[in-house]
Amino acid sequence: MDGKIFHITKEKLKELKKEYEELLNFERSKATSEEAPKILESEDINPEFISFQEDIGFLRSRIDELKNILEHHELIKNPPKEKYSIIDLGAKVKIDVDGQKDEFMIVGTLEANPALGKISNESPVGRALLGHKVGDEVVVSSPIKTTYKIKGIKYEIN
Amino acid sequence: MDKIIKFFTKIGELKTMPRRGWVIRDIKNPESIAEHTFRAAIMVWVLADSRKRNLNMEKLLKMALIHDLCEVYAGDTTPYDSILPKDKKKRRELLKTWPRFSEAEKKGLAAAKYKKEKAGLEKLIKDLSPKLRNEIRSLWLDYEKGLSPEGRFFKHTDRIESFLQAAEYWKTYKNLPQKPYWIQARELHDDPILLEFIEQINKEFHKNIKPKT
């Protein structure tokens, strides 16, 4: 735990809070030796939690990790309307990368997953896109030049 | 004990399973999955140590060792697989770019890969003791989903091992496109120490000649 602030979306916060509460309940039920923790009977439960059943060390470290995030997070919010045309955290950006179309959402490091189109605001491309508008061309070089043409920006955060 | 031997024999297959990313690029005698795992483990040890961060080294090293075990059954995959042309010329052209997909395609591909690899892992570890089975599964989930600082750090180090290998192969195969690796690196990595390491790779490998593609 290094005191880092986690920039997360409302959706992610909700998901993490739910996981935190479920894991805490699960841990308590393990401590009181209940045979079948109720959360495992729930259809909502992430089936992966079942793997924590006999891995208490992992369960505890995940609970600590979630607690740290929940205590050190900052919610990604929509910018004021006059700044909707500028790329900031939470923006969904339509781009053309060397002639190929793609769409990125700029998120914090915790939610970043380029395979799902979520680019960290701390990555070189994320950093380079911040502050730009539709029509701008952002060049990321070293050692080979790649041009990101910004085609659209929108904010869909609830 | 016979089940343990069967497990060791099965994972031994990774020593001779070539990594698909190099196969589709026509690299001769490419590295195996086990060879990638070996260096990824050493790299995460050295890089995590150098950053003086409070990461659990035992967890990191175990995670590195098990992260690709699922590929014994699931096989290795690349982001190009769903769109890879059979025609060699078209294939070479595609491999000069980083593949782009729609949001729905990204979700579908990621979900299919996860499902296939999870099933592969479950099949592989099914005869191990519950304690080992749960530990391996938890470590793999942590790596896959980036559930902890260790999971997130190793996931990035794993990609950097491949990135370094691409730069090394480029020394021999000057027609091996480097651009997709650089695009991926610039869009993926956000850890300051790993970003600095990438810059060092750039300086080391491209001080005399820069890749053209």
Cross-chain residue pair B106–A54, CB shorter than 8 Å: no
Contact residues, chain B, for A144 at CB < 8 Å = 178-179, 182, 210-213
Cross-chain residue pair B186–A140, CB shorter than 8 Å: yes
DSSP character at residue A106: E
Contact partners, residue B147, CB within 8 Å, separation at least 6:
A62, A65, B141
What would the pLDDT profile of B184-202 be if each residue is shown by its tens digit? Answer: 999 999 999 899 999 999 9
Residue of A nearest to B135 (CA): A55
Query: Which tokens hold the place of B14?
Result: 């990774």
Ramachandran area for residue B66 (φ above 0: left; ψ -120 to 50: alpha; else beta): alpha
| Cβ–Cβ contact B80 with A under 8 A | no
Query: How far is it, in rounded angstroms, from Cα A136 to Cα A133?
Result: 6
Closest approach of chain B CAs to the CA of A117, in angstroms?
Answer: 7
Query: How far is it, in rounded angstroms, from Cα B48 to Cα B60?
Result: 9
**Three-state secondary structure call for residue A155:** strand
Q: Is the peptide bond before B130 cis (omega within 30 degrees of 0)?
A: no
Query: How far is it, in rounded angstroms, from Cα B111 to Cα B105?
Result: 10
What would the pLDDT profile of A90-127 be if each residue is shown by its tens digit? Answer: 999 999 998 899 999 999 999 999 999 999 999 999 99
Domain boundaries, chain B: 2-205
Q: Which of residues 81-140 of A touch B (CB under 8 A)?
A: 97-98, 100-104, 109-110, 112-117, 119-126, 140
Q: Is the pTM of this model over 0.80?
A: yes
What are the pLDDT tens digits along chain A (158 aa)?
A: 456 899 999 999 999 999 999 889 888 877 765 544 444 444 444 555 555 555 677 888 889 989 999 999 999 999 998 999 999 999 999 999 988 999 999 999 999 999 999 999 999 999 999 999 999 999 998 788 999 999 999 998 66
Handedness of CA A32, A35, A41, A47 (dihedral sign): positive
Query: How far is it, in rounded angstroms, from Cα B22 to Cα A42?
Result: 44
Nearest to A100 among B97, B106, B178 (CB): B97
Angstrom distances, CA of residue B143 to CA of A26, B120, B150: 22, 16, 8
For strands A73-75 and A146-155, give the pairing: unpaired
Contact residues, chain A, for B188 at CB < 8 Å = 112, 114, 123
pLDDT computed for residue A44 by the predictor: 47
- ipTM, two decimals: 0.89
Q: What is the CATH T-level fold of the domain B2-205, as seen in this structure?
A: Hypothetical protein af1432 (1.10.3210)
Domain boundaries, chain A: 6-75, 81-155
Architecture (CATH level 2) of domain A81-155: Roll (3.10)
| Cβ–Cβ contact B2 with A under 8 A | no
* Residue B74: how many other CB atoms lie within 10 Å: 20
Residues of chain B with pLDDT below 50 are none
Query: How far is it, in rounded angstroms, from Cα B89 to Cα B86?
Result: 9
Query: How far is it, in rounded angstroms, from Cα B4 to Cα B10?
Result: 10
Q: Which of residues 140-169 of B touch A (CB under 8 A)?
A: 141-142, 145-149, 152
DSSP string covering B45-75, please? Answer: HHHHHHTT----HHHHHHHHHHTTTTHHHH-
